[in-house]
Amino acid sequence: MLHMSSISNVACAEDNTGMMSPPQDSNPKLPHGYCDLNLPYEPVSTIQARVIRAVALGYQTLAISVSVHQDELTYKNRKHKAAKKAKLDPDESEQMTDFPEPPRIIVKPEDHAGYPAPVILTRLNLTVNDNNFQPIWNSSETGKKYDLVAICPTSAPTLTNILKSAFRADIVAFDPENVRDVRWSRKLYNECVSQLMFFEINYAPCIRDTSTRRTTISQSHNYHLYGKSKAIFMSSGATNVLEMRGPHDVANLGFLFGLNEHQGKLAVKGIGHQVVKTALGRKMGPFRALIQKVDQLPEEEQWKVPEDAQDESEEEEGIRMKVTNLECDLSEVIISSPIGNYKILACPQGLHQVGQTDDVDNNNFLALGQAIVQFVEGSKTDNPHLLTAFAWMTEYFSNNRDISDKVQVCPQVIGESEESRSFRQKVWMSLKLKVGLGETVSYAQLAALAGSAGASRAVGSAMANNPIGLIIPCHRVVKSDGSYGNYAKSTKNDVKTWLLTHEQSHADKL
């Protein structure tokens, strides 16, 4: 009944604490099979059961993680000084002066009987506010015993500063309870990727708690938006066996986090292997580069190749269409207008998409158009946001009035709050709130309105990707010389002219 070959892999000896010791590393622990790289060591009472469950579910590479918040650490010298000052014994303080020893987990052969022996790694999760943890890390022998190092930065500047320092982590983890604001950008994401860090999504906390689910989904939305979800892997983060799911279920769960089918599969296996191998490389010290032709790279390593920074809008548009579907239950209607049909999507929280149907272009929009705003046959809805959009269109086309302040856009699209908005979302919001009927702004002016004077190019890209046409009035954004410029990649320039002329007639009436 026992697999002799597997047993020799584990070769665990029970020590006097009753816990198990991992095999002494004569050879490095190489990953194989499906990976769950985050089994929290706490609660210790269930860790053994969780490891056994993971093996039974089909995982073969596991990491037992220990979490330390930077605030729990004190640099030794500083602590001694502080204690001296306070005339206290330094040991009376509750602060740690070093990282805890990596836990030792035993998997007895009978615990995985019938299954291949797992590779069990240790992982340190560091929640950090700034670079002040680094002196402790640098002087610590214990910290460096862990196989994997994950950081959970509490803010974007924290992450940026870590990237600038000599400290190297393998994983960018996301700790919804401790993150204040990580404002992602393409640059920040690529910086992490170029430093060989991988992004982790934990699914078990999302099963446990709805607000964690929302935060995690919005975080993975950012990963999607700014990094096309490359270098993402999924772990459980499970604190009890009931939260654990098999690798196939987890790969499917990837859809919820913006991963396509292929990325979902990589997230439970291929990327996990990359994480472990990259960590081995980091621990071995000086960088060893491997030169390979791009077209010879296996598919799961393609993300390492920097992509052309240009010509991103097309692909991003594809991504946007996908991310707007995250979590939300969408309803759709088609509404006719004097300039052709509009397709409008909304969830119970607000609008997701307003756009002319694909068949509308420069040449035919007037011919396609109908004089009245009405639901096109077959379109019916009781979604309040679609009904408001209908009212908005009626007012706009028939009475030349703008009631866009009554129209709500889903927070998944426009961001939850001013602080959490990406630059692109700020641009959309500024345009909706600050540029009214009959007015126009230049790209540069809109950049300034959104709080980043000089970012006109990024404004251009925000306009090209505007999901809520008309209501977020990207047709009111014109070139600085006053000429109208392109609309919908120049396929609908005449529509833009029509809209601005229509609005001008309103201005004339005033």
Determine the Cα–Cα distance for residues 150 and 122; give it in Å rounded to an integer. Answer: 11
Q: Which is nearer to Zn ion, 117 or 471 (CB)?
A: 471
Nearer to Zn ion, 267 or 351 (CB): 351
Give the binding range for Zn ion (CB under 5 A) out of 140-148, 307-315, 340-348, 374-382. Answer: 340-348
Nearest to Zn ion of 120, 328 (CB atom): 328
For Zn ion, the binding residue among 105, 136, 326, 328 (CB under 5 A) is 328
Instruction: Name the residue nearer to Zn ion (CB basis): 235 or 412.
Output: 412
**For residues 389 and 335, is the Cβ–Cβ distance under 8 A?**
yes
- Residue 394 as a binder of Zn ion (CB under 5 A): the answer is no
Per CB under 5 A, the segment of 71-79, 120-128, 216-224, 345-353 that binds Zn ion is 345-353
- Rounded to the nearest whole angstrom, what is the least distance from the CB of residue 331 to Zn ion in the complex? 10
Q: How far is the CB of 125 from Zn ion (least distance, A)?
A: 31
In whole angstroms, the minimum distance from the beta carbon of 416 to Zn ion comes to 11
C-alpha dihedral, 463 to 465 to 471 to 474, nearest 10°: 20
Does the annotation mark 474 as catalytic? yes
Tokens of 63: 């990491």
Q: Which residues pair with 149 in a beta bridge?
A: 124
In the complex, minimum distance from the CB of residue 355 to Zn ion, in angstroms, rounded to a whole number: 16
Q: How far is the CB of 347 from Zn ion (least distance, A)?
A: 3
x/- mask, Zn ion, residues 399-438, rule CB under 5 A, reads: -----------x-x--------------------------
Dump the DSSP string for 410-471. Answer: -HHHH-SSTTT--HHHHHHHHHHHH--TT--EEHHHHHHHTT-TT-HHHHHHHHHT-SBTTT
Q: Kindly give the pairing relationship between strand 342-347 and strand 331-336.
A: antiparallel
CA distances from residue 432 to 53, 384, 403, 474 in whole angstroms, order as listed: 51, 19, 11, 9
In the DSSP assignment, the letter for residue 409 is B
Closer Cβ to Zn ion, 270 or 467, answer by number: 467
Pick out residues in 348-377 that bind Zn ion (CB under 5 A): 349
H/E segment holding residue 34 = strand 34-40
Least gap, CB of 222 to Zn ion (angstroms): 16
What Rg, from alpha-carbon coordinates, does the chain have?
A: 27
Three-state secondary-structure class, residue 411 = helix
Cα–chain-centroid distance for residue 273?
20
Kindly tell me which of 163 and 468 has the beta carbon lying closer to Zn ion.
Answer: 468
Cα distance between the two ends of the chain = 88
- Give the interface segment with Zn ion, choosing from 149-157, 274-282, 321-329, 466-474 (CB under 5 A): 321-329
Q: By CB under 5 A, is residue 185 in contact with Zn ion?
A: no
CB of 319 to Zn ion, least distance (A): 16
**In 3-state terms, what secondary structure has residue 124?**
strand
Determine the 3-state secondary structure of 347 from DSSP.
strand
For Zn ion, give the closer residue by CB, 350 or 460: 350
Contact 451, 427 (CB under 8 A): no
Q: Which of 35, 121, 148, 347 binds Zn ion (CB under 5 A)?
A: 347
C-alpha–C-alpha distance, residues 443 and 450, integer Å: 11
**386 contacts Zn ion (rule: CB under 5 A):** no
Element at 201 (helix H, strand E): strand 198-202
Contact footprint for Zn ion (CB under 5 A): 328, 347, 349, 410, 412
As annotated, the active-site residues are: 474
